[in-house]
Amino acid sequence: MKLPVIVALGLAALTSAGDAQDDIHIREATKAEAEAFSERAFAGPPGRKTYACFVRRYDADHLARHPKQKVAAMKLLMTAEYDNEVKELRYSFRLGFKYRHRSGDFDSSGSCNHVVFEDNGNEVRFGCGVDCEGGSIGVALSKDDKSAIVRLARVRVWQNNKPDDDAEESLVAGADDGIFRLDRTESRDCASLVTDRGELAALRRK
């Protein structure tokens, strides 16, 4: 993913969080910054294929305090996989969620890279995007690395793992849907986001 695309993804994610600035400086992370952040995200140096799962189910008390929040539950699966052709790690995301007042499971997915938000204390994030102008998410970590902070403005989603035009819509940030704090958990807890049987079996063994 080229730098201009990464910057656009990062800007969209930052704006959605409600802390946009008139002069936002975003750059591609250096190799050292990217490696350090990846070790934090995956709780150690990523192997040939490594997962990190983050989950949040919002309870009645939280939803009562955030009446405009549309999302009732969310899962994020981050994947680092070594690409033999280019001899480096590739990163991707899968996002799943349930609406508060709608039935069904919704999901999205795309590729990621590392960006640094220099006006936010040099915070490193994954800048992740969905193909064909499908929107983006930004993924940062809490200071203790136990939670992922997901920021979004708009991201294309599909219902019940049906990536076709008829099932396509978007999750759009609102007053209470721009930032989500998800807790780190076992990789197998994100198994519902995986459809490939071989990958699913591997994930469940983690």
* Cβ neighbours of residue 21 closer than 8 Å, sequence gap 6 or more: 119
**Which whole number is the average pLDDT over 122-138?**
91
Provide the pLDDT for residue 20. Answer: 39
The tokens of 175 are what? 């007053």
Q: Report which of residues 47 and 3 the model is more confident about.
A: 47
Would you give the distance in Å from CA 8 to the centre of its chain? 15
5-9, 133-137, 173-177, 180-184: which has the highest mean pLDDT?
A: 180-184
pTM of the model: 0.85
Mean residue pLDDT of the chain comes to 84
Q: What percent of the chain has pLDDT over 70?
A: 80
pLDDT at 165: 58
Tokens for 120, please give them: 């936010």
Confidence of residue 132 (pLDDT cuts 50, 70, 90): confident
Three-state SS for the chain is: CCHHHHHHHHHHHHHHCCCCCCCCCEEECCHHHHHHHHHHHCCCCCCCEEEEEEEEECCHHHHHHCCCCCEEEEEEEEEEEEECCCCEEEEEEEEEEEECCCCCCEEEEEEEEEEEEHHHCCEEEEEEECCCCCEEEEEEECCCCCEEEEEEEEEEEEECCCCCHHHEEEEECCCCCCEEEEEEECHHHHHHHCCCHHHHHHHHCC
What residues contact 97, with CB distance under 8 A and at least 6 apart?
Answer: 71, 72, 73, 74, 75, 105, 106, 107, 157, 171
pLDDT value of position 86: 85
